[in-house]
């Protein structure tokens, strides 16, 4: 068995001190005033010699594992997948590794994941909490484990959180449909008590109520279960139109609901935007294949991911850091699906 390459081996090969190599490999060359050229030589030599840092020894020395847990609803969802990638890229700047996990919107699974990651001694958590998981978040806080909630939050729980402006974004999206001449706007959302979904729903309701153009200011909301499949969503939309035949626009609360909704509208022979205009919260690459480019709310995933990591690292470094609640504005991207074309006779 070949001998494991050490910092001392690299130092002898380059002809510098072990302390100098240690500074460079721990990304502290600026503090030690190590020149860029020699720092690069040290890094290149470490790679060439196949150096692997001893993470266990490093953890014992610093009291940190240099890992943190990221728990989202579903890592396969493009929203969470892109968010996770942004978090991973930002964490790398601080020499942190991210362990990803999906709760599948299941509080029991969420608790199991938290237990496993805590046993692995992660330095902290970034969590998009599942419904009915507030007690889990409270337990993390009581154990003094650094934590940042992302995308979602609990209104009566004081903790770090990074979200987008769900209420304002929804209000703007529905107001856009009203300005485009839509008079009977429905919303399709998930049935949940999670704050971000309630904020989106309230933004829709208030935009309808505050409108000066609309004569009938009655909100039309169709709620579906988080685990609803394609057939269930289709049945829900069919029922929605049967009960409200004058609907001329739909606002979908998430990208997954939008995809299922578009399939349902196609099957029911509704044309977008001629029969029904569409605006959705969040985007998806799949939307690019739809015949009518969708108007959507673009969430600031890059900024959200960066800010969540920065707050978490600050909390890890400074145990007594004050909680930060950050709301980052989304942007309405207006395209063809939200404005009906003129029908030819």
For residue range 85-117, what is the model confidence (pLDDT) as tens digits? 999 999 999 989 999 999 999 999 999 999 999
Q: What pLDDT, on the 0 to 100 scale, is given for residue 60?
A: 45
Weakest mean pLDDT among 57-66, 140-149, 226-235, 247-256: 57-66
Q: Is the pLDDT of residue 118 over 80?
A: yes
Q: What pLDDT, on the 0 to 100 scale, is given for residue 163?
A: 96
> How many whole angstroms separate alpha carbon 116 and alpha carbon 97?
16
| pLDDT tens figures, 26-70 | 777 777 678 888 888 888 888 888 887 665 455 545 557 899 999
Axis crossing angle, helix 195-210 with helix 166-179, rounded to the nearest 10: 30
Q: What pLDDT, on the 0 to 100 scale, is given for residue 1?
A: 45
Q: What pLDDT, on the 0 to 100 scale, is given for residue 318?
A: 84
| pLDDT tens figures, 256-312 | 999 999 999 999 999 999 999 999 999 887 787 788 999 999 999 999 999 999 999
Fold classified for 7-53: 434 Repressor (Amino-terminal Domain) (1.10.260)
> For residues 97-123, b (16+ Cβ closer than 10 Å) or e, as one string?
ebbebbbbbbbebbbebbeebeeeebb
**CATH 3.40.50.2300 domain position(s) in the chain:** 61-164+302-307, 166-299+332-338
**CATH 1.10.260 domain position(s) in the chain:** 7-53
> How many whole angstroms separate alpha carbon 228 and alpha carbon 260?
10
| pLDDT tens figures, 192-223 | 999 999 999 999 999 999 998 887 788 999 99
With residues binned 3-state (H G I as helix, E B as strand, rest as coil), the percentages for the chain, rounded to 5, are 45, 15, 40
Q: What pLDDT, on the 0 to 100 scale, is given for residue 59?
A: 53
Q: Is the pLDDT of residue 343 over 70?
A: no
Q: What pLDDT, on the 0 to 100 scale, is given for residue 125?
A: 97
Q: Among 165, 249, 265, 254, which Cα is nearest to 214's?
A: 249
Fold classified for 166-299+332-338: Rossmann fold (3.40.50)
CATH homologous superfamily of 61-164+302-307: Response regulator (3.40.50.2300)
Q: What pLDDT, on the 0 to 100 scale, is given for residue 57?
A: 54
């Amino acid at each position: 068995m070949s001998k494991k390459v050490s910092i001392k081996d690299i130092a002898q090969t380059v002809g510098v001190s072990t302390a100098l190599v240690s500074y460079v490999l721990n990304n502290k060359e600026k503090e030690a005033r190590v020149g860029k050229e020699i720092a690069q030589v040290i890094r290149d030599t470490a790679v060439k010699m196949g150096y692997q840092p001893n993470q266990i020894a490093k953890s014992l020395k610093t009291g940190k594992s240099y890992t943190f847990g990221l728990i989202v609803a579903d890592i396969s969802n493009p929203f969470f997948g892109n968010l996770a990638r942004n978090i991973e890229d930002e964490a790398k700047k601080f020499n942190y590794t991210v362990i990803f996990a999906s709760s599948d919107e299941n509080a029991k699974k969420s608790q199991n994941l938290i237990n496993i990651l805590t046993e692995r001694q992660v330095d902290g958590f970034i969590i998009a909490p599942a419904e009915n998981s507030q007690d889990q978040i409270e337990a993390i806080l009581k154990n003094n484990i650094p934590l940042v909630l992302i995308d979602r939050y609990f209104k009566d729980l004081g903790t770090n959180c990074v979200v987008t402006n769900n209420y304002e974004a929804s209000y703007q999206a529905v107001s856009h449909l009203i300005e485009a001449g839509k008079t009977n706007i429905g919303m399709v959302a998930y049935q949940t008590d999670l704050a971000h979904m309630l904020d989106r729903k309230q933004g829709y309701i208030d935009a309808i109520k505050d409108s000066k153009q609309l004569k009938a200011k009655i909100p039309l909301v169709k709620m579906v279960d988080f685990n609803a499949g394609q057939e269930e969503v289709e049945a829900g939309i069919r029922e929605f139109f049967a009960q409200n035949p004058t609907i001329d626009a739909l606002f979908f609360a998430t990208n997954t609901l939008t995809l299922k909704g578009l399939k349902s509208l196609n099957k029911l022979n509704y044309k977008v935007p001629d029969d029904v205009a569409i605006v959705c919260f969040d985007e998806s690459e799949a939307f690019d294949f739809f015949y009518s480019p969708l108007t959507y709310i673009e969430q600031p995933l890059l900024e959200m991911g960066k800010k969540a990591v920065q707050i978490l690292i600050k909390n890890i470094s400074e145990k007594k850091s004050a909680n930060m609640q950050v709301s980052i504005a989304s942007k309405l991207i207006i395209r063809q699906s939200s404005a009906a074309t003129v029908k030819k006779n």
